A = this chain, B = another copy of it.
Amino acid sequence: MSAQATSSAYDTRTRILDLGEQFMLARGFNAFSYQHIAKELEVKPAAIHYHFPSKEDLGVAIIRRQLNRLHKWRGLPRVTELTPTQQFDALLEVYHGRVTERQQVCFFGALAADFQTLPEAMQQELRTFTTELTEWVAGVLAAGREAGTMHFRGHPVSKASQVLTTLAGALQVARVYDARQYERIVAQLRTELLEPA
């Protein structure tokens, strides 16, 4: 296991994950194939099977990587040192990136529609990811309300669910209509949360 061989394998593996993720967020899990990825990478479909024997393996790896990203991101000093309001805006930034870059949705929005056709392992992985994200947001909201900079009723977890649900839906709206619809929904959400009634 030399450094070079590892690096080369890692590169292809990563590029497969990147492309798979891109396709998944753009068109859903069932609407892309190993052929699509292989064509982009200029290799044969069987080469993808070498790295990820089944499509389920690939799907699980894509979601798991995103969970790792979340863990790293929420632990970064430039994130932990922010005020709750700034953390909330940092979250909005991430979602905003999906709209402007390509017409992508979030993982939840991309996979929920196809959910019943997904392999069990992917279903479980998506549940884990969503649970962890919701809990982080709930923590931010609770801290914000305590600091007096955020205003909402009910349990922080309920509000966090509602916020993430709205954001997931808003990305879908951006795809079906345009980015302006998205901006409107997020502005509405932000106003209600941050400006005292």
Contact = CB atoms under 8 A, between A and B. Distances in A.
Interface of A: 26-28, 30-31, 103, 105, 108-117, 123, 126-127, 130, 152-154, 157-159, 161-162, 164-166, 168-170, 172-173, 175-177, 181, 184-185, 187-189, 191-192, 195, 197
Q: Which 9 A-B pairs have the closest CB atoms?
A: A165-B169, A112-B172, A113-B113, A169-B169, A197-B197, A162-B188, A31-B117, A28-B113, A158-B184
25 contacts: A27-B117, A28-B30, A28-B113, A28-B117, A30-B30, A31-B114, A110-B113, A112-B113, A112-B175, A113-B113, A113-B114, A115-B175, A116-B175, A153-B188, A153-B195, A154-B187, A158-B184, A158-B188, A161-B173, A161-B184, A161-B188, A162-B185, A165-B169, A165-B173, A197-B197
- Report which residue of A108, A113, A195 has the largest number of chain B beta carbons within 10 angstroms of its beta carbon: A113
A3 B109 CA distance: 45
Contacts of A108: 172, 176
Contacts of A28: 28, 30, 113-114, 117
Nearest to A183: B158
Contact of A176 (B26, B103, B126, B184): B126
A86 B176 CA distance: 29
A152 B111 CA distance: 31
B181 A161 contact: yes
B113 A172 contact: yes
Contacts of A27: 114, 116-117
A14 B127 CA distance: 36
Contacts of A197: 197
A159 B191 CA distance: 11
B117 A113 contact: no
